[in-house]
A = this chain, B = another copy of it.
Amino acid sequence: MSVISITDVLAGKYPVGESISVHGWIRTRRDSKAGISFLAVHDGSCFDAIQAIVPNDLNNYESEVQKLTTGCSVKVTGILVESPGKGQAFEIQATAVEVLGFVEDPDTYPMAAKRHSLEFLREQGHLRARTNIGGATTRVRNTLAQALHRFFHEKGYYWISTPLITGSDCEGAGEMFRVSTLDMENLPRTEKGDIDFAEDFFGKETFLTVSGQLNVETYACALSKVYTFGPTFRAENSNTSRHLAEFWMVEPELAFAHLCDAADLAEEMLKYVFKALLEERPDDMAFFQQRVDKTVLDRLNNVISADFVRMDYTDAIEILQNCGKKFENPVSWGVDLNSEHERYLAEEHVGGPVVLQNYPKDIKSFYMRLNDDGKTVAAMDILAPGIGEIIGGSEREERIEVLDKRLAEMNLDPADYAWYRDLRRYGTVPHSGFGLGFERLVAYATGIGNIRDTIPFPRAPKTAAF
């Protein structure tokens, strides 16, 4: 069957006066005293439902049409006409309504046409895409993902799928999920009595990755411009509105590039995807603006038009110390910044996005490039008004002798980083990159407060339903 999308009908892609059929689900039914029914039929292709006007002379008007409730599925055939009322431009004068599926018990249907709490919708993860907010979030999420792929593709970046199951524990094993096929009731043991992971599926202990960065660096050091876009995992027991155990990350990596190039790329990327979102999904964004966060359109437009301010960590500390504001966490050179500091800088001091860079080396990772001062590394965080940190990145240490010194300082075994060191031994190049948590991007773009509502089936402590 060739199915017409309601988004195309509402966009005027079909000629008025002709007969069409649409398929979808009933959002609402209203009966007039004059003996006609108004059906709002949606198919998820856009925010709006289309109105079908159903006369009472249809064969199944009493037996079926008048029994339609929210969530029933139908095929509506009729003449496409211009809508006399305000709101939508088109509606359908129905000549036939075929019921594909009723709702078993409308009184207990979880998605009845009323406002539901986000907490309730989360429990109904298999049905929440049927609601206004569930559908709008999914379409926005798709638009942002498509725009990200398009942005990198147009700029000549190659998408790299870095592995999810990893045998290297160089990323911080404490917060990783173990992946295993060992029989937990009959664990194989070595002679010494340890669990014998040589017997496990991969012949060693394996985990779910927390970042594709180290892997994707190998591809940047061959193809120059690459990015990952895939799932990553954290076994952190953080029951907050900002953490997920399973989430998607975007990690571009550029060869022959310094920190400033990564910052430029990040700024360009954010502007590109927000512009695409405003252009492609005005319907859903109007909904978020009205019902979720009245600042969301302004916020995105501000990011699009702003020049992101570059600021050194050292200067930021001075600003925070002298601003006269009392912070919960006191500030001094060397401390990591908290959300309160980041938001003050972006929202109050600058009034726009800030690229904060050159952090003290002691609060950053071993792979970040040591600056000439010997105290700071070429790391950056991008802070955005309304959310704080949205992107973190760095120039990578490409000098083998400096890298080795950093590994030693941090008591890391160079043997565990043999392949990573090889990139520095064989034709090393300056390179930089950053990571963007995709769900945080969706939350920022929609104003959704809890990150669990930005992904179809959230995974978090004690939460893995569906």
Query: In which size bucket is the chain A interface?
Result: 35 or more
Q: Which residue of B lies closest to A460 (CB)?
A: B202
Proximity bits, A208-245, B CB within 8 Å = 1, else 0: 10000001001101111100001101010100000001
Q: How close is A3's CB to chain B, nearest CB, in angstroms? A: 5
The segment from A250-258, A335-343, A372-380 found at the interface with B is A250-258
Task: Check B246 against A5 for contact (C-beta < 8 Å).
Answer: no
Beta-carbon contact of B166 and A1 below 8 Å = no
Question: Is there an interface contact between B101 and A429, defined as CB atoms closer than 8 Å?
Answer: yes
Given contacts A163-B457, A218-B127, A463-B202, contact A427 B230 (CB under 8 A): no
Q: Quick one: which of B149, B215, B456 contacts A215, CB cutoff 8 A?
A: B456
Complex contact B257–A103 (CB within 8 A): no
Evaluate whether A45 and B177 lie within 8 angstroms (CB atoms) in the complex, with A23-B255, A145-B159, A218-B127 already known: no
Binds B, one of A78-86, A417-425, A443-451: A417-425
Q: Is the CB of A456 within 8 A of B163?
A: yes
A272: Cβ under 8 A from any B Cβ: no
Q: List 17 A-B pairs, Cβ < 8 Å.
A: A1-B256, A5-B156, A23-B255, A43-B223, A103-B426, A126-B218, A130-B221, A130-B222, A146-B153, A150-B150, A162-B456, A163-B246, A163-B456, A178-B180, A184-B187, A219-B456, A231-B231
A201 proximal to B (CB < 8 A): yes
Q: Per a CB cutoff under 8 Å, which of B72, B134, B177, B256 touches A3?
A: B256
A321 near B: Cβ within 8 Å? no
Residues of chain B with a CB closer than 8 A to A71's CB: 426-427
Do the beta carbons of A23 and B256 come within 8 Å of each other?
A: yes
Q: Which 6 A-B pairs have the closest CB atoms?
A: A44-B223, A101-B428, A129-B222, A203-B462, A202-B464, A23-B256
Confirm or deny: A392 has a beta carbon within 8 angstroms of a beta carbon on chain B.
Answer: no
Assess whether A95 is interfacial by the CB under 8 Å rule. no
Bitwise interface map of A from 160 to 201 toward B, beta carbon under 8 Å scored 1, else 0: 111111111000000001111110110100000001000001
Q: Is A314 an interface residue (CB 8 A)?
A: no
Q: Is A333 an interface residue (CB 8 A)?
A: no
Q: Across the interface, name the chain B residue whose C-beta is closest to A418.
A: B126
Tell me the minimal C-beta distance from A296 to chain B in angstroms. Answer: 20
Within 8 A of B (CB), among A123-152: 125-127, 129-130, 134-135, 138-139, 141-142, 145-146, 149-150
| New A-B pairs, 17, CB < 8 Å, besides A126-B419, A161-B455, A164-B164 | A1-B261, A43-B255, A44-B222, A44-B223, A45-B223, A101-B424, A104-B425, A125-B218, A129-B219, A138-B223, A139-B223, A149-B149, A177-B181, A177-B201, A201-B237, A202-B464, A218-B466
Q: Which residues of B contact A456 (CB under 8 A)?
A: 160-163, 215, 219
Cα distance A223–B5 when bound, in Å?
10
Contact call B45/A398, Cβ cutoff below 8 A: no
A434 touches B (CB below 8 Å)? no
Contact of A168 with B466 at beta-carbon distance under 8 Å, contacts A146-B153, A158-B142 already known: yes
